[in-house]
Amino acid sequence: YSELSAIEAIQADGDVKATNIILQGLPPEVYALVSTHKIMKELWEIIQMLMQGTSLTKQERECKLYDEFDKFVYRKGESLHDFYLRFSLLLNDMNIYNMKLEQF
């Protein structure tokens, strides 16, 4: 920082802090892809692109879970315990995505 003016040093410090804050909030798989980038603008653009994919994947997973919930039935020969475990796993998966059952 010694070769920077006071304003440039403040800007550089702010960039480092902003970068650290953003990186701390990323999912591990996204962090691994972007943590080596040093230019904040490039970093932000890459994160936006990667997170859009994450959002689409989340929407697809939610749709599959709603469909699975809608079609959930007892399987012939299945014990009550196994039925309960399958249903609990489905509800836990839905809970991970903060999905609401009010729609049903």
**Can you give the pLDDT of all 104 residues of the chain as single tens digits?**
578 888 888 888 888 888 888 788 877 777 777 777 777 677 777 777 777 766 667 788 888 899 999 999 999 999 999 999 999 989 988 887 788 877 55
**Would you say 104 and 70 are in contact if contact means Cβ atoms under 8 Å apart?**
yes
* Sequence-separated contacts (24+) of 16-23 with Cβ below 8 Å: 19/43, 22/47
At 103 the pLDDT is 57
At 73 the pLDDT is 95
The Cα–Cα gap between 84 and 81 comes to 5
Residue 24 tokens read as 């701390």
At 12 the pLDDT is 84
At 1 the pLDDT is 58
